Amino acid sequence: MYEMFEHTADLGLRVAAADLPALMVEAAHGLTAMLLDDPSSIQPRETATFAVSGSEPDYLLLDWLNELLFHYDTTGWVGREFDVTLDDDRLQAIVRGEPVDPRRHGLAHEVKAITYHHLSVTETAEGWTGELIVDI
């Protein structure tokens, strides 16, 4: 589950999941929903792989979303399906998606950066929660 919330001139993302890999998947879906009006319009036509290292879950979340945002900014490619695994201090992901097509994909927000503001990842009795703010 993910939800977006307003934050001054920025946009917040709050995620929850049963485990940490699922939290990373939900955060990726949340980022995609920030970028596009209708994330379900993305077709899983192409595959990209990502790897991010980090020892703290909150910084791993930040680096993971920054990696996805960088890929989107430099190639115009956005993911729809995210298979995430965590081994020690390394996140690995296989992502299926496609380049954004302005005729099919309506742009929602111009996300400039994933910020450290309100960055948190916490393990709870129900699983994991995370929160962060993006600069739009």
Confidence of residue 7 (pLDDT cuts 50, 70, 90): low
Please give the pLDDT value at position 8.
Answer: 65
Structure tokens at 98: 């496609």
Parse the chain into domains and list their residue ranges: 2-135
pTM exceeds 0.75:
yes
Give the chain's largest Cα–Cα span.
44
Q: Which CATH code fits 2-135?
A: 3.55.10.10
When pLDDT is averaged across residues 72-87 and rounded to a whole number, the result is 96
pLDDT of 23 > 90? The answer is: yes
What is the Cα–Cα distance from 15 to 101, expressed in whole angstroms?
27
